[in-house]
Amino acid sequence: MLVSYDWIQDFIQEPLPPADEIARELTMRAFEVEGIEKVGKKYPGVIVGHVVRIEEHPNADRLRLIIVDLGDSEEHRIVCGASNFSEGALVPVATIGTVLPNGMEIKVATIRDVESRGMICSKAELGLEKESDGIWVLDSDAAPGTLFDEVVEGGEVETVFDIDVLPNRAHDCLSHRGIAREIAVLFGLTFTDYESDLEFSEREPSEKPETLSVLIDEPERCRRYVGVHLDGLVCKESPAWLQDRLRSIGLRPKNAVVDAANYIMFSTGQPLHAFDAAKLGQTSGSHMIQVRAGRKEESMRALDGKKYDLPEESTVIADASADGIALALGGVIGGEDSAVSDKTTEVILEAANFDPVLTRKTSQALKLATDSSKRFENEISPVLAPMAMNALIVLLKDIAGTDNTAVRSVVDRYPDPVQQQSVSVTADKVNRLLGTEVTEKDIVDVLTRLSFQVEKGNDALSVTPPLDRLDVTTVPDVIEEVGRIYGYETITEVAPPSRDGDVPIHERFYWLNVIRDELVKVGFSEVMTYALRKKGELEIENPLAEDKAFVRNTLVDGVAQALEHNERYTDLLGISEVALFEIGNVYRDEEERTMLSLAASPTKRSAYKTQEILDRARVALTDTLGVEVVLPKDVPVVEINIDKILEKLPAPGTYDNLTDLSGDITYLSSSVYPYMLRDVALWVPKSVSKSDVEKVLLEETGKLLVNHYLFDEYEPVEGGEKSYAFRFVFQSFEKTLSDEEVNVIMDSVYKALDAKKGWKTR
């Protein structure tokens, strides 16, 4: 999120520390600051460009192609008709997206079949003169890419932070108010907040009929709806200071009403919306807003100009006085038919609190993410609605008000108000969890600065977080707040207490590791497969994916997949059999069980069959555990209940007989690229050994050979020759090998073998 330094200052009474100090403290104690940028306030988007070279336009005599360096190591091509500057000049360049003082927006343009990306500006185009004879050539030594505001007299530069606000704090810190409160706490400054209650002294007398009513069909969709009917406005252009603020965080100003709503949203974190009241229906002189679910086959043209088919689970803001037509998609975007325009004089203002789950589903279904939906998806507190509404009305009266501006109606639908929850904390709990020695006074000071209410009791502190701190609900949450403000980096290292005597034996852990050790000794490798599967008995309420919607009720499926996958790499690994096992929990028959699954698959080079490999595991476990282990027969993947075996085993006395893994272990990296196989068979004299042949082969294959083995040996009863057949495995750590590359190596192998007297490849 982009956060303006000057905007933050509005919430702090004392002058702010330098931007780099703020960034450092926020990163250490609150949020990661990803960058600090400078933004031109008076001339946003205009930067200093260096004219690298000038070329003739291929299709126009009076136009030139200007190649400009804007400080980003790229050459930018701009078509220009002025001729009062030459190569090497420094000029003001309006980049793509810039809106000049005369209202012109700079876009990518094609001029006489040549693309132009930007505009080289004159003083007139920058609003400094009525007319100009040519481009403004700057008398400056500024580097290319420098903000124009930094080099021109009267220019202003604003500092903007790029802050990564994580979801756990998005409910209160996707706003300048939230960030300012954090900064005030970190630097011991005085934070000034908005008023939180709905109080409008200039409201019409209560005996006049209300001109606005709000109906919420399902309170779970909308926990709070604050609506205000405000008229007597002039929807004109926003003042310069407000436009500067919005531009500094990447927003484009539109008009006073829309800009004010956006400004207050980015100030408070509460999304707001304004409907043109004149475009809404009335019943007995009153506008009627309805908050309801989407209807079947309902659609709405949104503010982005696109027409959307509204999901039935979406939350719709409707005009109950006009057949319930959709005015806005609650929490996501407003509708075009009720949009504010330059002719708007009266508005219905909305500050609501929409359900985060429904908002997220609607946003995802429509593939429509907005600043509003981002905040509602992360959930915000209902207490922000009246605060933001107050601030919006005050601002509108200031920038768009007239002598006739008045609040006609105020509606606050809040069926189930949030209750403040307190937690009990002691200094001992804080210090035990953090490893600190902070005093109760220090704890009270930190929590008070965070706007927590703290009451001292006889034995503990009663701590009540602000209603907008939705992340603080338990004692550890409170202690975490103390820790991060106190500073984790200030906590000294403390060695854990020593333990006298023997470590108690965990029976289950011990015997499961004995089983693992024995299976490894007889050639099995352990695998760990996904606990979530496509089928099962216990369904996940919110699955991560369609094929992970159930808790597994067997290990067999996962181990079978692992067996199939590993069988493909037997040549690469140089193994004659794949033998796998997994120990894991499953959910079957309404209970959790610990199961052992084994799988085996011999290759053509193995002297064993599947059942013989599994029997090897059965015998090893039976002999080691001292109880009969029975495995199903004649299947490649078996599964047994380990819980039943563990019940029969005695309590162990020591860990000594478990495999010690603390010794030197060497790990070899594997290539991510596919391997290639080649076979070589040859006749040699009977006096030639396998090693004699291997020596020649290895001299010719080079570093791309990662494995090789003899897979066939044949010696006829008669004759003086015998046959060897070898398999080579080639693989690169840098790329996918081609047939041509491997063929070159094999040609060299064949030549070397055939060159030996009495040797002949076949």
Kind and range of the H or E run holding 598: strand 591-602
Do 669 and 709 form a contact (C-beta atoms < 8 A)?
no
Q: Is the pLDDT of residue 336 over 70?
A: yes
Q: Helices then strands (H, E): number in the chain?
A: 20, 35
Alpha carbons 639 and 584: distance in angstroms, whole number: 11
Secondary structure class of 144 (helix, strand, coil): coil
The separation between CA 418 and the C-alpha centre of its own chain, rounded to angstroms, equals 29
Alpha carbons 560 and 565: distance in angstroms, whole number: 9
Return contacts of 575-578, CB within 8 angstroms, 24+ apart: 575/603, 576/602, 576/603, 576/605, 576/606, 576/607, 577/523, 577/601, 577/602, 577/603, 577/606, 577/608, 577/613, 578/603
Tens digit of pLDDT for each residue in 343-363?
A: 999 999 999 999 999 999 999
Q: Which of 192-206, 216-230, 549-563 has the lowest mean pLDDT?
A: 192-206
Confidence band, pLDDT 50/70/90 cuts, at residue 240: confident
| 448 against 717, higher pLDDT | 448
Beta carbons within 10 angstroms of residue 690's beta carbon: 13
Tens digit of pLDDT for each residue in 432-445?
A: 999 888 999 999 99
Q: Has this prediction a pTM greater than 0.75?
A: no
Mean pLDDT of 117-124: 94
Residues forming beta bridges with residue 319, ordered by sequence position = 289, 325
pLDDT at 427: 94
Q: Is the dihedral of CA 94, 95, 100, 105 positive or negative?
A: positive
Closest C-alpha to 298, from 288, 306, 308: 308
pLDDT at 207: 55
Instruction: List Cα–Cα distances, 656 to 296, 498, 652, 662, 708, in angstroms.
Output: 69, 21, 10, 13, 39
Closest C-alpha to 410, from 194, 195, 200, 196: 200
Alpha carbons 285 and 412: distance in angstroms, whole number: 19
Mean pLDDT of 396-407: 93
The separation between CA 132 and the C-alpha centre of its own chain, rounded to angstroms, equals 49
Tens digit of pLDDT for each residue in 499-513?
A: 777 778 888 999 999
Q: Where are the alpha helices (DSSP H) in 233-315?
A: 240-248, 256-268
Alpha carbons 467 and 271: distance in angstroms, whole number: 17
Averaged pLDDT of the chain: 91
Provide the percentage of residues in the chain whose pLDDT is more than 90.
Answer: 71
Kind and range of the H or E run holding 580: strand 577-588
Paired tokens of 291:
């908050």
The interaxial angle of helices 240-248 and 256-268, nearest 10 deg, is 50
Roughly how many angstroms between the first and final C-alpha of the chain, as a whole number?
70
Alpha carbons 496 and 473: distance in angstroms, whole number: 29
Closest C-alpha to 738, from 746, 727, 726, 750: 746
Instruction: List Cα–Cα distances, 54 to 144, 242, 385, 730, 758, in angstroms.
Output: 17, 39, 56, 55, 76
Tens digit of pLDDT for each residue in 245-254?
A: 998 898 989 9
Q: Which of 41-50, 100-109, 197-206, 285-294 has the lowest mean pLDDT?
A: 197-206
Closest C-alpha to 230, from 211, 208, 215: 211
Alpha carbons 56 and 63: distance in angstroms, whole number: 7
Mean pLDDT of 589-611: 88
| 195 against 430, higher pLDDT | 430
Q: Is the pLDDT of residue 583 over 90?
A: yes
pLDDT at 206: 52
